[in-house]
């Protein structure tokens, strides 16, 4: 699968995808990451990419020309590319979206900066607009990285062990059970003894109980949904 980051600041993103799991995924041929800088498409003699907001107001807005030329170039080169704009006013990004987008061949993320992007560019080029949460970031780069990571790890072959995806929080409605490793005792706290005895049906039952209590505590709305569905199925 291919990702293109359309950003004025590619160096913010590059490091993350050239290390660890993502780096191995690139080397293994499962993922590819490219960068496209709208500034390289600016026809302004100072390579300007922003201007004052129409109607006044604080902050600058990314102008249509450099970004739309960059995106037109991208679409010429890869006509099937799926273009996502990152914005705090987009729809909330979820694991369900990650699963759906992991089946695409090429996804591009457009990161807004300053006060945002001229809305007409969004109108013309956006296939979808996503927010990663109800808070305002300095720019869309972090949001693009979050989504690319969540999508990329679902591409077959990226994670060595596909089994590890199955029980993950959000793949089911429950949050995941907590994890433990050696030593057996840490700050006077022990590993739940059932996990050390090798009885897999008991281990699974304990994990389910722990997952239920985590979900009830941290995500009561999810807990309610799960228990309602569980009782409907019985
Ligand atoms: N840009 C700034 N804040 C954002 C957010 N919360 N989600 C996506 N893009 C953003």
Domains of the chain: 2-152 (3.40.1280.10), 169-233 (1.10.1270.20)
Distance, CA of 177 to chain centre: 22
Give me the pLDDT at residue 111, please.
98
Distance CA 22, CA 138 (A): 24
For residues 124-148, one letter each, b for 16 or more C-beta atoms within 10 angstroms of the residue's C-beta and e for the rest, the string is ebbeebbbbeeeebebbbbbbbbbb
Q: Nearest CA to 66 among 13, 126, 6, 5? A: 6
User: Tokens in use for 131?
Assistant: 């927010």
Give Dmax (Cα) for the chain.
Answer: 71
What DSSP element (H or E) covers 150? helix 141-152
Give me the pLDDT at residue 231, please.
81
**Nearest-atom index, ligand 1, CA of 112:** 1
**Ramachandran sector of residue 20 (left: φ over 0; alpha: ψ -120 to 50; beta: rest):** left
User: Tokens in use for 159?
Assistant: 């994670």
Distance, CA of 208 to chain centre: 27
Residues 125-183: tens digit of each pLDDT: 999 999 999 999 999 999 999 999 999 999 999 998 766 677 677 777 899 999 999 99
Contact predicate 29/133, CB 8 Å? no
Give me the pLDDT at residue 21, please.
93
Give me the DSSP letters along 46-114: T---EEEPTT--SSEEE-HHHHHHHHHHHHHH-TTPEEEEEEEEEEEP-HHHHHHHTT-SEEEEEEP-T
What's the gap in Å between 80 CA and the centre of ligand 1? 25
Give me the pLDDT at residue 98, please.
98
Give me the pLDDT at residue 163, please.
65
Q: Nearest CA to 135 among 143, 147, 127, 126? A: 143
User: Tokens in use for 93?
Assistant: 């990004």
Question: Which residue is closest in CA terms to ligand 1's atom 10?
Answer: 87
Give me the pLDDT at residue 53, please.
96
What's the gap in Å between 133 CA and the centre of ligand 1? 7
What's the gap in Å between 222 CA and the centre of ligand 1? 24
Distance CA 224, CA 230 (A): 10
- Mutating to test ligand 1, I would choose from 117, 140, 141, 149 the residue with most ligand atoms within 8 A of its C-beta, which is 140
Question: Which residue is closest in CA terms to ligand 1's atom 9?
Answer: 87
Which portions of the chain are predicted below pLDDT 70?
162-164, 167
Helices 220-233 and 200-218: angle between axes, nearest 10 degrees: 130
Contact predicate 66/39, CB 8 Å? yes
Distance CA 7, CA 176 (A): 34
């Amino acid at each position: 699968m291919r990702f293109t980051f359309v950003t004025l600041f590619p160096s913010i993103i590059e490091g993350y995808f050239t290390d660890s799991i993502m780096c191995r995924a690139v080397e293994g041929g499962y993922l590819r990451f490219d960068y496209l800088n709208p500034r390289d498409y600016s026809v302004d003699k100072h390579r300007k990419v922003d201007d004052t907001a129409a109607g006044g107001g604080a902050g600058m807005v990314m102008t249509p020309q450099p970004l739309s030329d960059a995106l037109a170039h991208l679409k010429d080169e890869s006509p099937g590319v799926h273009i996502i704009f990152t914005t705090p006013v987009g729809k909330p990004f979820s694991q369900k979206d990650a699963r759906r987008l992991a089946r695409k061949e090429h996804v591009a993320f457009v990161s807004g900066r300053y006060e945002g992007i001229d809305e007409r560019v969004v109108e013309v080029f956006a296939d979808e607009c996503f927010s990663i949460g109800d808070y305002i970031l300095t720019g869309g780069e972090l949001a693009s990285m979050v989504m690319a990571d969540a999508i990329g790890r679902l591409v077959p072959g990226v994670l060595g062990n596909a089994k590890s995806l199955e029980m993950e929080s959000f793949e089911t409605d429950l949050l995941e059970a907590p994890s433990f490793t050696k030593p057996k005792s840490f700050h006077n706290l022990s590993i739940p003894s059932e996990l050390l005895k090798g009885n897999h049906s008991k281990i699974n039952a304990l994990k389910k109980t722990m997952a239920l209590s985590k979900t009830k505590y941290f995500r009561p709305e999810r807990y309610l949904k799960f228990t309602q569905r569980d009782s409907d199925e019985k």
